[in-house]
Structure 1
């Protein structure tokens, strides 16, 4: 699956994330932010574009309804941040910690999560198109009532993830691992699974498999 990558300039001005408070519209763009600590903040409705954000901490910050376009996060910690009702397009989260992040009721397009920890994060009632999760931890992550289109889970840990009310037709989870998943059998129709996973789902159905 081809995903549009963030369109980020080569030449970016170095800024601090706290500069957002100096901007009239809570907006940062055309800049690089490195080593900023922006924890437990409530900056209002934020807009980010054409940015690289590296080695920054945003734990417990309220980013509800944030609008992000063409942004790359590298080695960042957004644990327990609130990003619900957000618009996230052409964004990469790389090697970042997103433990317990609230992404509920958000819109994702051309987004990649690579080598990230997303355990116990919440994506409920979100719309996702062209989203790739690669080698990421998604234990007990909530995908309740999501609309998934061209979404891939490559070599992820999905144990305990909740896909209740989320159709998985055309979604490939065959390279990922789990002991248990919450998913309705009719929502599994058309989901791409490995032969081992097919046996797991059969066991969850209560079937006894004999060779």
Structure 2
């Protein structure tokens, strides 16, 4: 019998090559829909826009400062080497998006729907994913310390080699979620939602403490 874990098949962003450059700072004053363009080596600051939409967009080396794009729609979008710290993308619809080597400190994705999203080598401490609905999402080599996944819905979610100390997974079913390659000293979880969570032998000691068990070491 083949017991190997079935690899999640993600749909990658469909972003064309050689996209024309967009001057987002000026165009944000008149447009709320942007497609087929690249935005790079710039800062976008002090914008508060509801229901803005980006499709087939490449963001490269872009700093977002004091940005609130609630109910944002992102489809076929790549963020590469960007700073999205403290941006508000809450209640967004995020589909076929890839985020690589980016800073997401305190980013707000609460209530968002994420489909086919990849986070690679991102610093996402204190990021908020509370009440999010996630399907086909990969977190690869990310720092997620103190990140909030409270009462999220997970389907085909992977955490690979992530730092997750003090992450909040309370109210979130961890059935089928493999945390065995991740590192953490403590997690906030709901005991009734732990069934089926995949962990390493070393992590089992920490989870025993979460369950209120006293782990006796040999020869004690």
- TM-score of the superposition, structure 1-length normalised? 0.96
8 Å CA contact 1:20–1:27 kept in 2: the answer is: no
Q: Flag structure 1 segments of 5+ consecutive residues without an equivalent.
A: none
Shift of 1:23: 4.4
How many residues in Structure 1 have an aligned counterpart in Structure 2?
210
Matched, 1:17 2:29: no
Question: Counterparts of 2:213 and 2:49 in 1: how far apart (Å)?
Answer: 50
- TM-score of the superposition, structure 2-length normalised? 0.92
- 1:73 partner SS: strand
Residue deviations 1:36-73 (CA, integer Å, cap 9, x gap): 21122113321001111000011220010000000000
2:57 to 51, 60, 64: 51
Find the counterpart in structure 2 of residue 3 from structure 1: 10
Q: Which has the higher strand share?
A: 2
Q: Flag structure 2 segments of 5+ consecutive residues without an equivalent.
A: 1-7
Find the counterpart in structure 1 of residue 3 from structure 2: none
Question: Counterparts of 2:65 and 2:162 in 1: how far apart (Å)?
Answer: 23
Matched, 1:125 2:137: no
Kindly report the root-mean-square deviation, in angstroms, between the aligned alpha carbons of the 2 structures. Answer: 1.2
Question: Counterparts of 1:161 and 1:22 in 2: how far apart (Å)?
Answer: 37
Find the counterpart in structure 2 of residue 178 from structure 1: 184
Residue deviations 1:104-148 (CA, integer Å, cap 9, x gap): 110000000100011001111110000000000101011000000
> 5 Å matches for 1:36-47?
36-47=42-53
1:80 to 75, 86, 104: 86
Find the counterpart in structure 2 of residue 140 from structure 1: 146
Question: Counterparts of 1:158 and 1:82 in 2: how far apart (Å)?
Answer: 22
Find the counterpart in structure 1 of residue 35 from structure 2: 29
Residue deviations 1:1-48 (CA, integer Å, cap 9, x gap): 221100011131111221432544x11110111112112211332100
